[in-house]
Amino acid sequence: MAFREINSKMVEATVVPGQRLFSQRGAMLAYRGEVSFTPNMQGGQGGVMSMIGRRLANEDTPLMSVEGSGTVLFGHGGHHVHLIRLTGDTLYVEADRLLAFEGTLQQGTMFLGSQGGVMGMVRGQVSGQGLFTTTLKGHGAVAVMAHGGVFEIPITPQRPVHVDPQAYVAHQGDVRNKLSTALGWRDMVGRGSGEAFQLELSGHGVVFVQASEEKL
Amino acid sequence: MFRLQGSKVLAVDMTGDAVKAKNGSMVAYDGQMTFKKLSGGGEGIRGMVTRRLTGEQMTVMEVTGQGTCWFADRASEINLVRLQGETLYVESSNLLATESGLRTGTSFTGLRGATQGNGLFTTTVEGHGQAAIMSDGPAVVLRVSPQYPLTVDPGAYIAHQGAVRQSFQSGVTFRTFLGEGGGEAFQIRFEGDGLVYVQPSERNTIAGDV
């Protein structure tokens, strides 16, 4: 694994020749050795087509590629950092929560409306996260950011998990997600419990939740 | 059953029972849950009227269900308090959740409340069960005994329990008005037998400006 947790808000990455890392631009705190940082105009991998895809999808958080040999410290905005390891499965995460990830991972964008139909689209609006999300697939590690610590809840077919859209960070695995509502007439007259919308995740995987309802 | 998951997340395992929690503090759940807002903050018409009058309004929801429900609020640290018949006094903004065996009410705090910037009333929690209170940074629990009274900065105070008398102290002298105050113009003094919860941070109070 290329990443090592230094404390709850910093990770250290080991860079070796021939292996690339991507990180959010400006997230480098310090480095040792011969390391170069190049702004990545395409905002990640996959060539021009995927760049256009990301632009359209508004998932084009500026990234830089990190190459060379040495170690680099990453952290950003005092946010908590959480490491997620992928072994062939897919991670779904908002681009602005990505701190850094290994170049061995395949980056893509996914249209949320394709899962859960209309509610999938509403989901993006409600959670303020837009209609698209970034996917990372393959073998490697990802560092994501959150407000407050992150905890993991396993998802099994018998036990679907419901998450507050504002506290949702990312999920991984073979998981279906849809927006569920608990809207009743009470909510309409402004007397709701404040838990009107939830993301329902079902299938096999893990969901990452932050200890806060604040956006980054 | 309340348990902490890390220091900032409260996990509650439920088997058909109900807990009261701050409105909107649910971050995730599995199983079946229903969320209902309690009108005026619970405890019947009388509680509602006092809450309205006192401004000690916390918006509370009742969570009922089977499964595990996770609560968190703006990445605050969470402390579990077990009550066995005694009363916990806590600022409503610092109360995250209470078990079904606990009743909540309002009590007059006098001048102390005004210096804390929290109004003249505070929330009381009584009965048998656990309560989860929040603090800005990890809280410490300080014991007050007849031999050892305790003095606390109003901005760092979050809650207390037990047979404790509290009085308000002012260090305001004419020097304060000449702009030579020590920055610690007001304090709360606790005497008796009990526990006081103190956070490593000072919320904004009028005392801070004096």
Dump pLDDT digits (tens) for A64-107. 899 999 999 999 988 999 999 999 999 999 888 999 999 999 88
Average the pLDDT over A16-36 and give the result. Answer: 91
- Does the pLDDT value for residue A34 go beyond 60? yes
Residues 6+ apart with CB under 8 A from B24: A193, A194, A195, A213, B59, B61
Strands (E), A53-94: 63-74, 80-93
- Does the pLDDT value for residue B53 go beyond 70? no
Per-residue confidence (pLDDT) for residue A107, from 0 to 100: 87
Quickly state the pLDDT bin for A198 (edges 50, 70, 90).
Answer: confident
Residue A205, min C-alpha distance to chain B (Å): 14
Q: Tell me the C-alpha distance between A22 and A39, whole Å.
A: 10
Q: Tell me the C-alpha distance between A99 and A5, whole Å.
A: 13
Residues 6+ apart with CB under 8 A from A61: A24, A43, A95, A96, A98
Partners of residue A148 in chain B, C-beta under 8 Å = 8, 72, 74-75
Residue B113, min C-alpha distance to chain A (Å): 27
Q: How many residues in chain A?
A: 216
Per-residue confidence (pLDDT) for residue B20, from 0 to 100: 92
Average the pLDDT over A131-150 and give the result. Answer: 89
Asked if the Cβ–Cβ distance from A163 to B24 is below 8 Å, we say: no
pTM here is 0.81
Per-residue confidence (pLDDT) for residue B5, from 0 to 100: 93
Average the pLDDT over B98-122 and give the result. Answer: 70
Does an H or E element contain A56, and which? helix A47-57
Partners of residue B26 in chain A, C-beta under 8 Å = 164, 195
The mean of the pLDDT values for chain A is 81
Per-residue confidence (pLDDT) for residue A16, from 0 to 100: 94
Say which amino acid occupies A109. Answer: T
Could you say which DSSP state residue A159 is in? B
Residue pair B154/B205 in contact (Cβ under 8 Å)? The answer is yes
Residue B124 burial (CB count, 10 A): 17
Residue pair B72/B122 in contact (Cβ under 8 Å)? The answer is no
Could you say which DSSP state residue A175 is in? E
Chain A residues contacting B, CB < 8 Å?
A: 147-149, 151, 153, 159-164, 167, 182, 186, 191-195, 198, 207, 209-214
Angstrom distances, CA of residue B158 to CA of A14, A195, A208, B19: 43, 26, 30, 21
Say which amino acid occupies A84. Answer: I
Could you say which DSSP state residue A216 is in? -
Q: Tell me the C-alpha distance between B146 and B142, whole Å.
A: 13
Per-residue confidence (pLDDT) for residue A134, from 0 to 100: 86
Residue in B8, B23, B27 closest to A163 by CB: B27
pLDDT digit string (tens) for A101-128? 999 998 888 766 555 555 555 555 555 5
Q: Tell me the C-alpha distance between A200 and B181, whole Å.
A: 55
Angstrom distances, CA of residue B124 to CA of A130, A174, A206, B121, B136: 42, 46, 39, 10, 20
- Does the pLDDT value for residue B171 go beyond 90? no
Average the pLDDT over B174-192 and give the result. Answer: 68
Closest CA to B79 of B8, B162, B28: B8
Residue B60, min C-alpha distance to chain A (Å): 8
Secondary structure of chain B in HEC code, one letter for each residue: CEEEECCCEEEEEEEEEEEEEECCCEEEEECEEEEEECHHHCCHHHHHHHHHHHCCCCCEEEEEEEEEEEECCCCCEEEEEEEEEEEEEECHHHEEEECCCEEEEEEECCHHHHHHCCCCEEEEEEEEEEEEEEECCCCEEEEECCCCCEEECCCCEEEEEEEEEEEEEECCCHHHHHHHCCCCCEEEEEEEEEEEEECCCCCCCHHHHC
Assembly ipTM: 0.77
Residues 6+ apart with CB under 8 A from A125: none
Average the pLDDT over B101-109 and give the result. Answer: 80
Q: How far is CA A127 from the centre of its chain?
A: 14
More confident residue, B8 or A44: B8
- Does the pLDDT value for residue A192 go beyond 80? no
Residue in A159, A163, A214 closest to B74 by CB: A214
Partners of residue B39 in chain A, C-beta under 8 Å = 191
Percentage above 90 pLDDT, chain A = 45
**Residue A46, SS3 per DSSP:** coil
Partners of residue B33 in chain A, C-beta under 8 Å = 162
Q: Which of B26, B58, B59, B78 is the best mutation test for A, with the most CBs of A within 10 A?
A: B26
Percentage above 90 pLDDT, chain B = 46
Q: Report the DSSP beta bridge partners of residue B151.
A: B189
Q: Report the DSSP beta bridge partners of residue B187.
A: B169
- Does the pLDDT value for residue A200 go beyond 60? yes
Number of H-type helices and E-type strands within chain A: 3, 13
Residue in A151, A161, A193 closest to B9 by CB: A151
- Does the pLDDT value for residue A196 go beyond 70? no
Asked if the Cβ–Cβ distance from A211 to B30 is below 8 Å, we say: no
Asked if the Cβ–Cβ distance from A192 to B27 is below 8 Å, we say: no
Per-residue confidence (pLDDT) for residue B41, from 0 to 100: 45
Per-residue confidence (pLDDT) for residue B210, from 0 to 100: 44
